Each structure stands twice: as C-alpha cells, then as structure tokens.
Amino acid sequence: MFLARVVGTVVATKKSEGMQGIRLLMVQPVGEDDRPRGKPVCAADATLAGPGDLVHVTESREAALAFADPFIPVDAAIIAVVDQVTATA
C-alpha cells in the first residue's frame, strides 16, 4: 500500500471482461512529504478520484478485491481519497 497523487487518465478502447465501467488513472507514488517516489503506476479507480487528488493505492491480489468482481485482472487499485496525512516520528 502506498500514497500517490493522481496525474492523469488512461483510455482503453478494449478491456478485459469485468473491467467495463472501471476507470483507469495514472498515479505518481509520493512519500509523506508529498515528494514523488519511483515511477507512475496505472491503477483502477474504486473511489471516483480526480486529477491532483492524494489517494491510497493497494497492489497485488488485494487490488482486485476493491471491486464487485474480485477476479478481474487488476494489479493496483485506488481504494481511498486521502484528506489529511499526519506523520509522527
């Protein structure tokens, strides 16, 4: 799981069965300081996140569990729009 900033959208003219209606967004992983970490990732959106939103992303098998059909081919999913981050040492 990681924090990320929504930086774009992905348009797919063909999707795997069960993926119709699921938006795909490009997200840039960020640290607690909101600085970019690593490369952007394509994530399926379960929250109706928008451009610039700070989001919580989950990966692997758990990503598909965010949707009605838990057997869709999803490796990353946006599962929350983050309102605030408080870091403690």
Q: If residue 61 lies in a helix (H) or strand (E), which one and from where to where? A: helix 61-64
Q: How many domains does the chain have?
A: 1
Q: Is residue 74 part of a domain?
A: no
Task: Convert the pLDDT of each residue in 40-66 to its tens digit.
Answer: 999 999 999 999 999 999 999 999 999
Q: Is residue 32 part of a domain?
A: yes
Closest by CA to 51, choosing from 86, 4, 84, is: 4
Q: Is residue 29 part of a domain?
A: yes
Global confidence as pTM: 0.91
Identify the residue whose tokens are 């840039």.
28
Closest by CA to 77, choosing from 34, 27, 39, is: 27
pLDDT (mean) for 21-47: 95
For residues 7 and 27, the answer to whether their CB atoms sit within 8 Å is yes
Identify the residue whose tokens are 């607690």.
32
pLDDT (mean) for 24-29: 98
